[in-house]
Amino acid sequence: MRRVSPDLQDLVKDLAVPTSSKIVLVVIDGLGGLPGDEGSTELEKAATPDLDTLARESICGMIDPIARGVTPGSGPAHLALFGYNPLEFQVGRGALAAAGIGFNLELDDVAARINFVTVDEEGKVADRRAGRISTETNKELCRLLNGMQLEGTQLFVRAVKEHRAVVVLRGRGLSDALSDSDPQKTGVAPIEVKALSPEANKTARIVNGFIQQAREILSGHYPANMILLRGFAKSPRLPSFLEIYRLRSAAIAAYPMYRGIAKLMGMDILVTGETVEEEFKTLRENFDKYDFFFLHIKGADSAGEDGDFKRKVKVIEEVDRNIPTLRHLAPEAIAVTGDHSTPSVLKVHSWHSVPFLLRSAWCRPDKVDKFSEEACLRQGGLGRFPAVEVMPLLLAHALKLTKYGA
């Protein structure tokens, strides 16, 4: 007798077998909502005849991305959906930012988030967004900062969006055990980056050297006359989808961040367009080539963050119009859900649970007749459950898991 208590993913790894069945996981980013002026959530308000039909054929439920009350960032929310315990596997902000722009981190690279900011004459942070500079200005500034060589280490600087950028250090003996330079408030000076362990001394020196040079280079570029760094991180080493689930997997995502996250799990990244329709077209064109597809739709989250209830409704309706394409492909298991909630009334990610549907020939039907928070919660046969259980459920419903124990 062994006395061990493996975690769910380890257990699933032991049980997963490769088969010809196919799984499609559709993630409508920020799907969950709160009632707007008329008392319905965005999903409830949206006209979704095809999602509703799918829900009637599915077993439904509500997922908690991390834990009740915990609002997730995009990284942990997707890790959880993919079956990786987000409290165990942590993707540092720098690594996530690099993934987000499609910058492939090598094994010993150290990445950090950059914010362009305004400092006053005393060097104190006056505006944490540098007067909301444009992405174009950001790109010009990154070109100025890019390409330094410090102590044999190469520094790459890449724009993300608006005032946000990324720096990647590539060299020998680098460490990510570094404190942030970002003081997280205005009226105080940037903080010197400190090594949090002796092995990081060299990296701290390099980073502080970079910051010093950046200060000089940017001095004439008011309002973006300084940078703040935070979230130093190496690339996380995640076991791949193939290794754990025996799945040949592919990601279809218009936004680079989600392609970056999918790449961390070893998914192939499929070239796709900007629209929901193009994403589903990419799914159709590549359907024969993979066992698992992650199809990510960004618009609902963006609309929620903008507080635009109507636009979020429209994005959901746009997804609905593409459900027939998905249905026609007839994968053995389909899930439609979100990575987290982004209620328009809150304008940010939130902790609320997220509607979930799973369609398969082998799902036990429930009484859900509409894809909505209300119906999934009250009538959903899966009840309320943590997002890390989504992958085991999908694999089971595609008959890809063998029996546990004799």
Q: How far is the CB of 218 from a copy of itself (least distance, A)?
A: 24
Residue 180 near a copy of itself by CB under 8 A: no
Q: Which of 22, 89, 334, 338 binds a copy of itself (CB under 8 A)?
A: 89
Residue 242 near a copy of itself by CB under 8 A: no
Residue 270 near a copy of itself by CB under 8 A: no
Q: Which long-range contacts (CB under 8 A, 24 or more apart) does 198-205 make?
A: 199/173, 199/175, 200/175, 200/176, 202/151, 202/173, 202/174, 202/175, 203/110, 203/169, 203/174, 203/175, 203/176, 203/178, 203/232, 204/178, 205/151
In terms of phi and psi (left: phi > 0; alpha: psi -120 to 50; beta: otherwise), the region of 184 is: left
Q: How far is the CB of 253 from a copy of itself (least distance, A)?
A: 17
Residue 196 near a copy of itself by CB under 8 A: no
Contact window for a copy of itself (CB under 8 A) among 7-15, 45-53, 104-112, 157-165: 7-15
The smaller minimum CB distance to a copy of itself, of residues 223 and 231, is found at 231
Residue 236: helix, strand or coil by DSSP?
A: coil
Which residue type occupies 338?
Answer: G
Closest CA to 119 of 209, 212, 230, 224: 224
Q: How far is the CB of 400 from a copy of itself (least distance, A)?
A: 10
8 Å CB contact between 22 and 287: yes
Cα separation, 308 vs 291, whole angstroms: 36
Chain residues 141-170 in contact with a copy of itself, contact rule CB under 8 A: none
Query: Do the bridges between strand 153-161 and strand 23-28 make them parallel or antiparallel, or are there none, so unpaired?
Result: unpaired
Cα separation, 80 vs 89, whole angstroms: 9
Helices within 40-172 (DSSP H only) = 42-45, 49-56, 74-81, 93-100, 135-145
Both tokens of 7, joined, read: 């975690």
Residue 17 near a copy of itself by CB under 8 A: no
Q: Which of 8, 101, 191, 195 binds a copy of itself (CB under 8 A)?
A: 8
Q: How far is the CB of 211 from a copy of itself (least distance, A)?
A: 21
Residue 11 near a copy of itself by CB under 8 A: yes
Residue 202 near a copy of itself by CB under 8 A: no
Residue 347 near a copy of itself by CB under 8 A: no
Residue 377 near a copy of itself by CB under 8 A: yes
The smaller minimum CB distance to a copy of itself, of residues 66 and 315, is found at 66
Contact window for a copy of itself (CB under 8 A) among 135-143, 206-214, 286-294, 363-371: 363-371
Q: How far is the CB of 262 from a copy of itself (least distance, A)?
A: 16
